[in-house]
Structure 1
Protein backbone atom coordinates (compact mmCIF):
# COMPACT_ATOMS: atom_id res chain seq x y z
CA UNK A 1 0.00 0.00 0.00
CA UNK A 2 1.31 3.45 -0.94
CA UNK A 3 1.07 6.17 1.69
CA UNK A 4 2.09 9.80 1.47
CA UNK A 5 2.93 12.14 4.33
CA UNK A 6 1.14 14.87 2.43
CA UNK A 7 -1.56 14.84 -0.22
CA UNK A 8 -2.10 17.39 -2.95
CA UNK A 9 -2.07 20.96 -1.70
CA UNK A 10 -3.24 24.22 -3.12
CA UNK A 11 -1.88 27.67 -2.52
CA UNK A 12 -4.61 30.20 -1.90
CA UNK A 13 -3.69 33.88 -2.15
CA UNK A 14 -6.41 36.12 -0.76
CA UNK A 15 -6.07 39.91 -1.19
CA UNK A 16 -7.93 42.30 1.08
CA UNK A 17 -7.75 45.81 2.54
CA UNK A 18 -6.00 46.30 5.86
CA UNK A 19 -3.36 44.30 7.70
CA UNK A 20 -5.12 41.08 8.76
CA UNK A 21 -7.89 39.09 7.06
CA UNK A 22 -11.48 39.33 8.20
CA UNK A 23 -12.39 36.91 11.00
CA UNK A 24 -15.03 35.33 8.70
CA UNK A 25 -12.32 34.19 6.28
CA UNK A 26 -10.30 32.64 9.08
CA UNK A 27 -13.47 31.14 10.58
CA UNK A 28 -14.30 29.40 7.30
CA UNK A 29 -10.81 27.92 7.21
CA UNK A 30 -11.08 26.84 10.85
CA UNK A 31 -14.41 25.12 10.09
CA UNK A 32 -12.84 23.11 7.25
CA UNK A 33 -9.94 22.10 9.47
CA UNK A 34 -12.30 21.04 12.28
CA UNK A 35 -14.28 18.92 9.79
CA UNK A 36 -11.04 17.17 8.68
CA UNK A 37 -11.67 18.33 5.11
CA UNK A 38 -8.33 20.14 4.86
CA UNK A 39 -5.06 20.46 6.71
CA UNK A 40 -3.34 23.84 6.96
CA UNK A 41 0.29 23.37 6.00
CA UNK A 42 1.44 26.99 6.11
CA UNK A 43 -0.02 30.49 6.23
CA UNK A 44 1.46 33.95 6.29
CA UNK A 45 0.44 37.49 5.51
CA UNK A 46 2.19 39.98 3.23
CA UNK A 47 1.13 43.55 3.93
CA UNK A 48 1.93 46.86 2.21
CA UNK A 49 1.23 49.91 4.35
CA UNK A 50 0.00 53.28 3.09
CA UNK A 51 3.59 54.45 2.62
CA UNK A 52 4.49 51.44 0.49
CA UNK A 53 6.58 49.52 3.04
CA UNK A 54 6.16 45.74 2.91
CA UNK A 55 5.86 43.53 5.99
CA UNK A 56 5.77 39.73 6.04
CA UNK A 57 3.79 38.49 9.04
CA UNK A 58 4.21 34.93 10.28
CA UNK A 59 1.45 33.77 12.63
CA UNK A 60 4.04 33.32 15.38
CA UNK A 61 4.77 37.06 15.16
CA UNK A 62 1.20 38.01 16.06
CA UNK A 63 0.27 38.76 19.67
CA UNK A 64 -1.67 36.21 21.69
CA UNK A 65 -5.38 36.48 21.10
CA UNK A 66 -5.11 37.00 17.33
CA UNK A 67 -7.57 35.12 15.09
CA UNK A 68 -4.65 32.96 13.95
CA UNK A 69 -4.19 31.43 17.43
CA UNK A 70 -6.36 28.44 16.60
CA UNK A 71 -4.19 27.30 13.67
CA UNK A 72 -1.50 24.66 13.92
CA UNK A 73 0.76 24.57 10.88
CA UNK A 74 1.74 21.13 9.63
CA UNK A 75 4.56 22.25 7.29
CA UNK A 76 5.61 25.68 8.52
CA UNK A 77 7.90 27.46 6.07
CA UNK A 78 6.79 25.59 2.96
CA UNK A 79 5.69 28.87 1.31
CA UNK A 80 8.50 29.95 -0.99
CA UNK A 81 10.26 33.30 -0.67
CA UNK A 82 9.89 33.84 -4.42
CA UNK A 83 6.11 33.55 -4.09
CA UNK A 84 6.08 36.02 -1.22
CA UNK A 85 8.17 38.53 -3.20
CA UNK A 86 6.00 38.18 -6.31
CA UNK A 87 2.81 38.72 -4.33
CA UNK A 88 4.30 41.66 -2.42
CA UNK A 89 5.25 43.34 -5.71
CA UNK A 90 1.60 43.26 -6.81
CA UNK A 91 0.11 44.72 -3.62
CA UNK A 92 -1.23 48.26 -3.66
CA UNK A 93 -0.59 50.46 -0.60
CA UNK A 94 -3.06 49.68 2.18
CA UNK A 95 -3.66 46.11 1.05
CA UNK A 96 -2.46 42.72 2.21
CA UNK A 97 -2.55 39.13 1.02
CA UNK A 98 -2.83 35.97 3.06
CA UNK A 99 -0.95 33.05 1.52
CA UNK A 100 -2.31 29.72 2.71
CA UNK A 101 -0.99 26.31 1.67
CA UNK A 102 -3.92 23.96 2.18
CA UNK A 103 -3.79 20.19 1.83
CA UNK A 104 -6.96 18.62 0.47
CA UNK A 105 -7.33 15.55 2.71
CA UNK A 106 -9.82 13.78 0.43
CA UNK A 107 -7.30 14.08 -2.41
CA UNK A 108 -4.51 12.48 -0.38
CA UNK A 109 -6.31 9.13 -0.40
CA UNK A 110 -7.03 9.48 -4.10
CA UNK A 111 -3.37 10.27 -4.85
CA UNK A 112 -2.25 7.24 -2.85
CA UNK A 113 -4.59 4.99 -4.86
CA UNK A 114 -3.35 6.45 -8.14
CA UNK A 115 0.26 5.76 -7.14
CA UNK A 116 -0.59 2.31 -5.83
CA UNK A 117 -2.18 1.32 -9.13
CA UNK A 118 0.66 2.73 -11.22
CA UNK A 119 -1.54 5.51 -12.60
CA UNK A 120 -0.03 8.92 -13.10
CA UNK A 121 -1.96 12.14 -12.53
CA UNK A 122 -0.99 14.40 -15.39
CA UNK A 123 -2.81 17.60 -14.55
CA UNK A 124 -5.41 19.19 -12.35
CA UNK A 125 -7.13 22.48 -13.05
CA UNK A 126 -9.05 24.52 -10.52
CA UNK A 127 -11.82 26.70 -11.88
CA UNK A 128 -12.56 29.53 -9.42
CA UNK A 129 -16.17 29.61 -8.21
CA UNK A 130 -17.05 33.00 -9.81
CA UNK A 131 -15.72 31.80 -13.16
CA UNK A 132 -17.53 28.43 -12.98
CA UNK A 133 -20.79 30.14 -12.08
CA UNK A 134 -20.42 32.57 -14.99
CA UNK A 135 -19.78 29.63 -17.35
CA UNK A 136 -22.87 27.84 -16.02
CA UNK A 137 -25.04 30.94 -16.51
CA UNK A 138 -23.74 31.38 -20.06
CA UNK A 139 -24.51 27.69 -20.79
CA UNK A 140 -28.00 27.95 -19.18
CA UNK A 141 -27.06 25.38 -16.52
CA UNK A 142 -28.41 25.67 -13.01
Structure 2
Protein backbone atom coordinates (compact mmCIF):
# COMPACT_ATOMS: atom_id res chain seq x y z
CA UNK A 1 0.00 0.00 0.00
CA UNK A 2 1.29 3.46 -0.88
CA UNK A 3 1.56 5.71 2.17
CA UNK A 4 0.44 9.27 1.59
CA UNK A 5 1.32 12.14 3.88
CA UNK A 6 -1.85 13.92 2.75
CA UNK A 7 -5.17 12.69 1.41
CA UNK A 8 -7.28 14.36 -1.28
CA UNK A 9 -7.60 18.11 -0.86
CA UNK A 10 -10.62 20.22 -1.67
CA UNK A 11 -11.00 23.99 -1.99
CA UNK A 12 -14.31 25.25 -0.64
CA UNK A 13 -15.48 28.84 -1.01
CA UNK A 14 -17.99 29.74 1.72
CA UNK A 15 -19.82 33.03 1.25
CA UNK A 16 -21.27 35.15 4.05
CA UNK A 17 -22.65 38.62 4.64
CA UNK A 18 -20.36 41.32 5.96
CA UNK A 19 -16.59 41.27 6.21
CA UNK A 20 -16.25 38.41 8.69
CA UNK A 21 -18.09 35.14 9.26
CA UNK A 22 -20.45 35.08 12.22
CA UNK A 23 -19.91 32.89 15.28
CA UNK A 24 -22.21 30.18 13.90
CA UNK A 25 -20.07 29.80 10.77
CA UNK A 26 -16.87 29.74 12.84
CA UNK A 27 -18.44 27.08 15.08
CA UNK A 28 -19.44 24.99 12.05
CA UNK A 29 -15.83 25.05 10.75
CA UNK A 30 -14.50 24.04 14.16
CA UNK A 31 -17.01 21.18 14.57
CA UNK A 32 -16.03 19.55 11.29
CA UNK A 33 -12.32 19.80 12.10
CA UNK A 34 -12.81 18.59 15.68
CA UNK A 35 -14.85 15.59 14.46
CA UNK A 36 -11.79 14.41 12.52
CA UNK A 37 -13.53 14.23 9.14
CA UNK A 38 -11.25 16.83 7.59
CA UNK A 39 -8.01 18.60 8.34
CA UNK A 40 -7.95 22.33 7.67
CA UNK A 41 -4.76 22.98 5.74
CA UNK A 42 -5.20 26.61 4.78
CA UNK A 43 -7.78 29.35 5.23
CA UNK A 44 -8.10 32.76 3.60
CA UNK A 45 -10.73 35.46 4.05
CA UNK A 46 -11.73 37.45 0.97
CA UNK A 47 -13.82 40.62 0.82
CA UNK A 48 -15.05 42.02 -2.48
CA UNK A 49 -15.87 45.73 -2.47
CA UNK A 50 -18.82 47.16 -4.36
CA UNK A 51 -16.29 48.24 -7.00
CA UNK A 52 -14.99 44.67 -7.30
CA UNK A 53 -11.68 45.17 -5.48
CA UNK A 54 -10.49 42.19 -3.45
CA UNK A 55 -9.02 42.25 0.04
CA UNK A 56 -7.42 38.98 1.14
CA UNK A 57 -6.51 38.22 4.74
CA UNK A 58 -4.72 35.13 5.98
CA UNK A 59 -5.71 33.45 9.22
CA UNK A 60 -2.80 34.93 11.16
CA UNK A 61 -3.98 38.43 10.15
CA UNK A 62 -7.65 37.98 11.05
CA UNK A 63 -7.94 34.87 13.20
CA UNK A 64 -8.20 36.50 16.62
CA UNK A 65 -10.92 38.98 15.66
CA UNK A 66 -12.93 36.29 13.86
CA UNK A 67 -12.68 33.76 16.66
CA UNK A 68 -10.06 31.41 15.21
CA UNK A 69 -7.26 32.53 17.53
CA UNK A 70 -6.28 28.99 18.60
CA UNK A 71 -6.62 27.33 15.20
CA UNK A 72 -3.40 25.94 13.76
CA UNK A 73 -3.25 25.34 10.03
CA UNK A 74 -1.32 22.37 8.67
CA UNK A 75 -0.09 23.73 5.33
CA UNK A 76 -0.47 27.46 4.89
CA UNK A 77 0.29 28.70 1.42
CA UNK A 78 -1.69 26.03 -0.44
CA UNK A 79 -4.36 28.57 -1.35
CA UNK A 80 -2.74 31.06 -3.66
CA UNK A 81 -3.76 34.46 -4.94
CA UNK A 82 -4.42 32.71 -8.28
CA UNK A 83 -6.98 30.47 -6.53
CA UNK A 84 -8.58 33.52 -4.92
CA UNK A 85 -8.77 35.42 -8.20
CA UNK A 86 -10.26 32.42 -10.02
CA UNK A 87 -12.93 31.87 -7.36
CA UNK A 88 -13.61 35.58 -6.76
CA UNK A 89 -16.07 35.66 -9.63
CA UNK A 90 -18.40 33.65 -7.37
CA UNK A 91 -18.29 36.29 -4.61
CA UNK A 92 -20.97 38.98 -5.03
CA UNK A 93 -19.76 42.58 -4.83
CA UNK A 94 -20.08 43.97 -1.32
CA UNK A 95 -19.77 40.59 0.40
CA UNK A 96 -17.13 38.21 1.67
CA UNK A 97 -16.08 34.58 1.65
CA UNK A 98 -13.71 32.17 3.31
CA UNK A 99 -11.55 29.97 1.12
CA UNK A 100 -10.93 26.72 2.97
CA UNK A 101 -8.37 24.18 1.84
CA UNK A 102 -9.37 20.93 3.50
CA UNK A 103 -7.82 17.50 3.44
CA UNK A 104 -10.44 14.76 3.25
CA UNK A 105 -9.13 12.50 6.01
CA UNK A 106 -11.75 9.82 5.37
CA UNK A 107 -10.39 9.46 1.84
CA UNK A 108 -6.68 9.33 2.73
CA UNK A 109 -6.62 5.58 3.47
CA UNK A 110 -8.74 4.86 0.41
CA UNK A 111 -6.37 6.88 -1.79
CA UNK A 112 -3.37 4.99 -0.39
CA UNK A 113 -4.99 1.62 -1.07
CA UNK A 114 -6.02 2.62 -4.58
CA UNK A 115 -2.55 3.90 -5.44
CA UNK A 116 -0.88 0.81 -4.00
CA UNK A 117 -3.08 -1.55 -5.99
CA UNK A 118 -3.20 0.07 -9.42
CA UNK A 119 -6.46 1.95 -8.89
CA UNK A 120 -7.02 5.59 -9.70
CA UNK A 121 -9.82 8.05 -9.18
CA UNK A 122 -10.87 8.92 -12.71
CA UNK A 123 -13.33 11.65 -11.79
CA UNK A 124 -14.88 13.20 -8.72
CA UNK A 125 -17.70 15.69 -8.43
CA UNK A 126 -19.38 17.17 -5.41
CA UNK A 127 -23.10 17.88 -5.44
CA UNK A 128 -23.95 20.63 -2.91
CA UNK A 129 -26.25 19.62 -0.05
CA UNK A 130 -29.06 22.08 -0.98
CA UNK A 131 -29.22 20.53 -4.48
CA UNK A 132 -29.32 16.95 -3.13
CA UNK A 133 -32.06 17.87 -0.65
CA UNK A 134 -34.11 19.67 -3.31
CA UNK A 135 -33.91 16.69 -5.68
CA UNK A 136 -34.76 14.19 -2.94
CA UNK A 137 -37.75 16.32 -1.83
CA UNK A 138 -39.00 16.42 -5.42
CA UNK A 139 -38.65 12.64 -5.73
CA UNK A 140 -40.57 12.09 -2.49
CA UNK A 141 -43.57 14.14 -3.70
Tell me, yes or no, whether TM beats 0.5.
yes
Q: What's the CA shift for 1:70?
A: 2.7
Q: Is the 8 A contact 2:7 2:111 kept in 1?
A: yes
Partner of 2:4: 4
Report the more deviating stretch, 75-84 or 90-99.
Answer: 90-99
Q: Is the 8 A contact 2:21 2:66 kept in 1?
A: no
Partner of 1:117: 117
**Whole-angstrom CA distance in 2 between matches of 1:81 and 1:63:** 19
Partner of 1:85: 85
Partner of 2:55: 55
Q: What's the CA shift for 1:51?
A: 5.6
Partner of 2:41: 41
- Is 1:105 aligned to residue 105 of structure 2? yes
Q: What's the CA shift for 1:45?
A: 0.7
**Whole-angstrom CA distance in 2 between matches of 1:90 and 1:109:** 32
- Is 1:137 aligned to residue 137 of structure 2? yes
SS in 1 for 2:101: strand
Partner of 1:68: 68
SS in 1 for 2:21: coil
Q: What's the CA shift for 1:17?
A: 1.3
| Structure 2: unaligned runs, 5 residues or longer | none
**Whole-angstrom CA distance in 2 between matches of 1:90 and 1:110:** 31
What do residues 83-125 of structure 1 show as CA deviations (whole Å, max 9, x unaligned)? 2113334433320111001111110011111111111111111
Q: TM-score, normalised by structure 2?
A: 0.88
Q: Quick one: structure 1 residues 129 and 90, their matched pair in 2 at CA, closer, same or farther if it must change by over 3 Å? A: closer
Question: Deviation above 4 Å: which 4+ runs of structure 1?
Answer: none
**Whole-angstrom CA distance in 2 between matches of 1:10 and 1:37:** 13
